Chain A
Amino acid sequence: QCATKRKQKKTCAWEQPLLQAVLIADSFNRRFFPISKDQPRALLPLGNVAMIDYTLEFLTSTGVQETFVFCCWMSNKIKEHLLKSKWCRPTSPNTVHIITSDLYRSLGDVLRDVDAKALVRSDFVLVYGDVVSNIDISQALQEHRHRRKIEKNISVMTMIFKESSPGHKSRCEEDDIIVAMDSKSQRVLHYQKTQGLKRLHFPMNIFHSGSDEFEIRYDLLDCHISICSPQVAELFTDNFDYQTRNDFVRGILVNEEILGNQIHMHVTKDGYGARVSNLLMYDAVSSDLVRRWVYPLTPEANFTDQKGQSCTHSRHNVYRGSGVSLGHGSQMEENLLIGCDTSIGANCHISNSVIGYNCTIGDNVILDRAYIWNNVHIASNVVISQSVVCDKAEVKEGVKLNKQCVLAYNVVIGPNISLPEGTVVSMHHPEEEEEDDDEFLSDDGEVGQSQDKTKQKAFNPAEVGAEGRGYIWKASSLDDTEEEELSQCLWGLVLNPDPDSDSEASEPDGSSFSSDPCAAVFSCAVFQIEVLGTLQRGLEENIGCDNLVLEINSLKYAYNINMKEVLQILTRVVLDFPFQQQGPQLTTPQYAALLLPLLKKWAGVFKNYVKRAQDHMDCLSAFEEYFLEQESHWGAMFKILMTMYQLEIVEEEIILRWFSQGATTDKGRQLRNNQGVRMRRQGGGEGNTEGKGSYLKSFI
């Protein structure tokens, strides 16, 4: 009985599209090294809650019912965390499946696997495991579904952006983007990371796309939340060189004409969404969280439902967990989150900080913008500003951490030492890094091995203090340019705006070519001959439609022809084909008899090009143009049109629209009158194909 009920429930869910999500709990980069050497990025605490919990809460509250979590680096830790969390309880409205593999190297690999396993059935939400958001995506989802309904399979992705003007602290320079969009259809025309460049190039063709309103926006923050159609996974499979979402977006936009796919965007004003892509963003998002920008995901809401993690909120955004003790004369100034069972000594000044569970903090400590994780010991007379101190680290007496310092897990610093700005200290020696470089991400066995090695190397007391334990990670000590970049990246790239630097954006491709009208006409003519040749050869050698399409596509590039022209020329060539083969003396019935099998044969070629409503129109206008020139063969025209309709090359609706559209010339009107009146009558009368076919037959 129970089973049948379950089944019923399942079938119910099948009827209305189940909203699915793909959550990627791996960043596929090393921006958080050396912190992420001990703990995967998705589990790093943000406001004392693991980042992946924010992402899952966002997905659940937005109505996602099934989530696939993909993990690679330290997948067992993520799995363990998720199995303990409320997401894996049977009552959770969002079913979480954990999929682990050490073989994933990029977003592309994950999506290819999604496609291979056929996990998604309808539109899905794609997010990273470090996205913090309270955006309600239902509106964007509705728009996305609507777009896909109207123009089938054209729009493949809707990206979600948040309005945020330049200079906002939650915009970090390295992630700044510039987007060109069609303001009416919300279509993305161009998407580029600015990377601190002063001068940017936009490809010319985005301004030729037929819309009269454009926006170029620099006030957007990419939330890294996208609504994807199942096609996205297929496209990743087709294009094995796509590694990241950027590759994908660029690929789709550049190849829009060939593939016919589009990307749209949705800009939200009131939600909050950001990705913690480096420590600068970590700092920004943490402070936004404490300042309640992400309401209702606030620290005191305890949305993860963990016991003993609740805290209270009082004035000036001070959050206190249970069992927090505060010494005499200590001040909790503002924007402060203190986890359970943390004790703070006397005369401390704490502001804009997050302190984890079970920490002990001595007397006369000054903390500002400090992120202290769990089980940290801080002795007396310590000053910490804008730094991260990871789990179980120890800061001895009299230590001063200047801005942007990072103390990774289990590090001991001090006593009486001042770490310069930007110091990164870890228990892992930076050199062991080079050893397992080839492995990219070492597995646990090797970590154990390397720990043995670290014991052999001595700590430098000048760097970490007399009782200190840990190694300094220096940017300069690594010669490898890539490595250098990585270690700097921990706090976000500092980009030097270089006025002379050029953007790497695609050049205004081909615009010089087509700007010369003579050249364009010439290339069209040559293209037509080439297409004719291809088709002839295709007929003789019996080449399949797919291969013909490939050949025509390559010709298209060679002669720089746009999609519309390809379609018109193709239609023309096919219609003219019998005359080219047999000479112009053919009678009308003979012509029709020759052409119809050809149309049947090449229907696949047409279908590849005729996708959108506009394509149908273009095809029909080429058809009209051709017959205007071949007045003597008007008799065959109707039969051909009917065949094209039966082969599903052109749709009924579009034919009718074409008829109802006024003709521009007298001759055109005549042509329509020839058959249009009767055609329209039956088209309006019954939409039934059967009836239509019989009617057409009787007419012939």
Chain B
Amino acid sequence: MPGADKETDLSERIEAFLSDLKRGGSGTGPLRGSAETARETTALLRRVTAQARWSSAGDLMEIIRKEGRRMTAAQPSETTVGNMIRRVLKIIREEYARSRGSSEETDQQESLHKLLTSGGLSEENFRQHFAPLKANVIEAINELLTELEGTTDNIAMQALEHIHSNEVIMTIGRSRTVEAFLKDAARKRKFHVIVAECAPFCQGHEMATSLSKAGIETTVITDAAIFAVMSRVNKVIIGTQTVLANGGLRAVNGTHTLALAAKHHSTPLIVCAPMFKLSPQFPNEEDTFHKFVSPHEVLPFTEGEILSKVNVHCPVFDYVPPELITLFISNIGGHAPSYIYRLMSELYHPEDHEL
């Protein structure tokens, strides 16, 4: 029964991925960047497409939605997973539409009138069977994977347009995208980077070590010194965990402080964010927005008696409103925060916003 074996293999993989997600980002599990999570999710979805039993696009979408709901529930703060699921759903829709012969153009063009009258392709319309659909979808997912591979490089390539000689750049914490961005610029230009350490996890220290190894002049400051140092800074370049639907950010703790200080001094704030971080989520969804981890870093467990008398919290994320952001740099170019809604409608189908 090769079919059954394949299916258990598939569900084993999914379970392993789920438990990885649940443990991820805590220090106990394997720590990884969101780029890797995005790639893993997409690869897993490709496997689902290849191995699961489905006869029509509707079936496949249902399967992917079902697995997607579990994956997003496993770690609600990791929005990349949900984003990749939406991308794949969109791919299936497009491939189905192409197989049916309807032009993509009409599908993409949205008008208020059309939204009100047609209601788009409803689920019933995906029931038709097309033999080459599977191969086409897998092909498209492969393209998506190739795109994901190149995102960091694509962003880093734009570095020279934004960083000029003898500038002072400030960043916070450690973002792999920003790291690559700065290192790329350092190949041609001389500049100075100030890194806010981002307590209590102090990823800023790692960032500074990595940058100075690449020959960039680097200074580490405490988070409390951000405002004091800001007057000397020409540009603030940061990474983010998620770009929200309103153009705001969900980024590492302390970013809001940094953004406000930058606004006060009219320093431009540039956000390096690959497209896969774009999420249709809004900042008002309270229960999934925050992530609180073990308070160990704030007040160690060894402190003893005092711990029974105080409440210690260790939140991980900050919300940065879109007004404070000057520019987004993604793998397809630079955008203003007000343009995010447009990108959102290009990347995801409106019916997939809720999985």
Contacts and interface: CB of A to CB of B under 8 A. Distances in A.
Contacts of B15: 91-93
Contacts of B302: 163-165, 168, 219, 269
A476 B307 CA distance: 35
Contact of A310 (B4, B19, B73): B73
Contact of A270 (B4, B296, B312): B296
Interface stretch (B5-13, B105-113, B222-230): B5-13
B28 A293 contact: no
Contacts of B290: 313
A270 B290 CA distance: 22
B26 interface: yes
Contacts of A335: 311
B12 A91 contact: yes
Contacts of A5: 5
The 5 A-B residue pairs whose C-beta atoms are closest, nearest first, are A165-B304, A167-B305, A312-B287, A295-B294, A169-B308
Nearest to B303: A165
Interface string B282-314: 000011001011111000111111011001111
Nearest to B74: A301
A294 B26 CA distance: 10
A693 interface: no
Contacts of A271: 28
A272 B300 CA distance: 11
Interface string A297-315: 0000111000000101110
5 contacts: A91-B15, A162-B301, A163-B301, A292-B294, A314-B287
B29 interface: yes
B296 A293 contact: yes
Contacts of B293: 292, 295-296
Contact of B29 (A61, A92, A219, A310): A61
A270 B295 contact: no
Contacts of B157: none
Interface string A43-74: 00000000000000000110000000000000
Given A291-B312, A312-B287, A316-B311, A93 B304 contact: no
B1 A2 contact: yes
Q: SS class of chain B's interface: helix, strand, loop or mixed?
A: helix
A166 B307 CA distance: 12
Interface of A: 1-2, 5, 60-61, 90-93, 134, 136, 162-169, 219, 269-272, 291-296, 301-303, 310, 312-314, 316-317, 334-335
A402 to B, nearest CB: 20
Contacts of B308: 168-169
A167 B304 contact: yes
A2 B5 contact: yes
A4 B120 CA distance: 49
Contacts of A312: 287
A272 B11 contact: no
Contacts of B292: 292, 295, 313, 317
B263 interface: no
A91 B294 contact: no
B23 A296 contact: yes
B119 interface: no
Nearest to A294: B294
B2 interface: yes
Nearest to A221: B301
Contacts of B16: 93
Given A2-B2, A5-B5, A93-B16, A296 B301 contact: no
B295 A164 contact: no
Interface string B9-44: 001101110010011001111000000000000000
Contacts of B2: 1-2
A678 to B, nearest CB: 53
A462 B19 CA distance: 53
Interface in B236-292: 286-287, 290, 292
Of the candidates A91, A334, A335, the one having the most CB atoms from chain B within 10 angstroms of its own CB is: A91
Interface in B81-102: none
A90 B28 contact: no
B5 A168 contact: no
A93 B296 CA distance: 29
A169 B307 contact: yes
A272 B305 contact: no
A573 to B, nearest CB: 53
Contacts of B22: 296, 301, 303
A93 B295 contact: no
Nearest to B76: A300
Contacts of B27: 270
